[in-house]
């Protein structure tokens, strides 16, 4: 099988503090993009909500204060430099940001921009974690359910730059349905940005599990769907609140091909052979040949877990 090399870069960001400006964040992203292009990348993946601090950790009453974290236009005056640099360097990118639409809707969004600087895809986060109410006793808030609506455009895959790219964001990676829906559209690469606090505010979780579950879900998503995964963290202590690093590029074998070492701005790069996924797609994960959707109906018929089929009786008792 002939190799199909694709330069894939992930640009992890260190903290973006509340007082930091958009201009400063964009300048850091441009520098990372330049490094990615220098290393031969065709695509560079940026984090979730990359332009600001992870503001869902704060209870914000004032509409003006909240609006300041959102983008009304993309590109806008402060983000245009990213698009111009991408077109000049012939490199695509994905970028996470808070989107405020003309109709006043708010989404946690990620865009896919091709190597001519044109937006070719948009994903609005579907699995919004956290809560909508104020939890003053918690060490910090996770208010994605308050500040964002559930994405209304589904999980999609775009044919661009001689490959097929799907997108999801952070918490989506924990749900196998995300990757399967993208795999069923023949995605070869799935990109995501993530911001994962190292403290679980809902119950005490040993800190090592945050990284373990992060890698576990990405590696299984890659392997079970025969695709490359490129995941970019915003990491480190943002205004004193710690988020895990662990930005990774994972191959269709489920193996980690590159992983960040730091919790700062850091670029990782792999010359990804897109043909690696073909072997899995044609054999063990040949969906057309081996999937049995007639036995998966419950996945769309039920949301929460319920009673066993047949009332849970043993086979001998079932009439
Ligand atoms: N930004 C996120 O979606 N974070 C979640 C946290 C809250 C668990 C995550 O899945 O990493």
- pLDDT tens digits, one per residue of 69-97: 999 999 999 999 999 999 999 999 999 99
Residue nearest to atom 11 of ligand 1 (CA): 196
125 included as an active-site residue: yes
Q: Specify the fold of 5-301.
A: Nitrilase/N-carbamoyl-D-aminoacid amidohydrolase (3.60.110)
Per-residue pLDDT at 277: 97
Catalytic residue among 144, 168, 170, 263: 170
Kindly state the helix (H) or strand (E) to which residue 8 belongs, with its residue range: strand 5-12
The pLDDT, as a whole number, for residue 312 is: 77
Phi-psi domain of 282 (left: phi exceeds 0; alpha: psi -120 through 50; beta: other):
alpha
* 172 half-sphere exposure, CB direction, 13 A CA radius: 29
User: What's the pLDDT score for residue 273?
Assistant: 98
Catalytic residue among 71, 99, 125, 234: 125
**What is the pTM assigned to this prediction?**
0.97
pLDDT digits (tens, 9 = 90+) for 148-159: 999 999 999 999
Question: Residue 316 has what pLDDT?
Answer: 65
Distance 167 CA to ligand 1 centre (A): 16
**What pLDDT, on the 0 to 100 scale, is given for residue 318?**
52
- Residue ranges in the chain whose pLDDT is less than 70: 315-319
| Residue in this structure with the two tokens 């990359």, named with its chain if needed | 50
Active site residue 48: yes
Tokens of 145: 């359910």
Q: Is the CB of 170 under 6 A from ligand 1?
A: yes
Is position 317 annotated as part of the catalytic site? no
Shortest-distance Cα residue to atom 4 of ligand 1: 196
Cis amide prior to 181 (ω within 30 degrees) = no
Place of tokens 């974290």: 69
Tell me how far apart the alpha carbons of residues 319 and 310 are, in angstroms, rounded to a whole number.
10
CA of 116 to the centre of ligand 1 (A): 32
d(CA 309, CA 221): 27
pLDDT of res. 313: 78
């Amino acid at each position: 099988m002939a190799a199909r090399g694709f330069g894939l870069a992930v640009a992890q960001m260190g903290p973006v503090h509340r007082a930091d400006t958009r201009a400063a964040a964009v300048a850091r992203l441009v520098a990372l993009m330049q490094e990615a292009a220098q290393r031969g990348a065709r695509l560079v993946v940026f984090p979730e909500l990359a332009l600001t601090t992870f503001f869902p950790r704060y209870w914000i009453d004032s509409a003006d204060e909240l609006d300041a974290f959102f983008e009304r236009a993309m590109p806008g005056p402060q983000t245009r430099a990213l698009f111009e640099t991408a077109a000049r360097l012939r490199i695509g990118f994905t970028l996470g940001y808070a989107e405020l639409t003309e109709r006043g809707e708010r989404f946690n969004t990620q865009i896919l921009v091709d190597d001519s600087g044109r937006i070719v895809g948009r994903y609005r986060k579907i699995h919004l974690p956290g809560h909508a109410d104020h939890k003053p006793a918690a060490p910090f808030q996770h208010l994605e359910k308050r500040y964002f609506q559930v994405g209304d455009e589904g999980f999609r895959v775009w044919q661009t730059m001689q490959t097929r790219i799907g997108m999801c964001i952070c918490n989506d990676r924990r749900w196998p349905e995300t990757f399967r829906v993208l795999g069923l559209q023949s995605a070869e690469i799935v990109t995501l940005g993530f911001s994962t606090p190292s403290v679980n505010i809902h119950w005490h979780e040993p800190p090592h599990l945050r990284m373990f579950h992060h890698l576990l879900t990405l590696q299984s998503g890659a392997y079970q769907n025969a695709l490359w995964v490129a995941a970019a963290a915003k990491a480190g202590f943002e205004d004193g609140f710690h988020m895990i690093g662990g930005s990774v590029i994972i191959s269709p074998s489920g193996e980690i091909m590159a992983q960040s070492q730091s919790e700062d701005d850091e670029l990782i790069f792999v010359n990804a052979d897109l043909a690696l996924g073909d072997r899995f797609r044609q054999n063990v994960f040949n969906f057309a040949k081996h999937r049995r959707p007639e036995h998966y109906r419950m996945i769309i018929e039920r949301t929460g877990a319920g009673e066993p089929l047949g009332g849970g009786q043993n086979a001998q008792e079932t009439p």
